Amino acid sequence: TTFERQKKKLPAGILKKILFEFAAKENSFAFVGYRDGQPISTVFCVYDNQTAYYLVGGYDEKNAHHGAGAACMHAAIIKSKSFT
């Protein structure tokens, strides 16, 4: 994963709490990039009434496409702009 590649650790349970206890369709969104039907990149954001926050994202190192992550991020920016 991206965290492993960067030798970073996410405190145990934090991401799980965000994804399964806090995030809802009313305050979060994700975009996934696919190649040949397989997910290769993703962006996950939460938002409030003023700001969208990019929390986590990543890509499949073995099947990476250099534009997939950027395309997901671009989609997230466009979605975020729709809230204003």
The reported pLDDT for the residue numbered 26 is 93
Residue 77 has pLDDT above 90, yes or no: yes
- 69: number of Cβ within 10 Å: 19
Retrieve residue 82's tokens.
């729709």
Least confident of 1-10, 25-34, 67-76: 1-10
Retrieve residue 51's tokens.
């700001």
Q: Please report which confidence band the pLDDT of residue 84 belongs to, taking 50, 70 and 90 as the band edges.
A: low
The reported pLDDT for the residue numbered 2 is 65
Name the pTM for this structure.
0.83
Residue 82 has pLDDT above 80, yes or no: yes
Burial of 71 (0-12, 13-18, 19+ CB in 10 A): middle
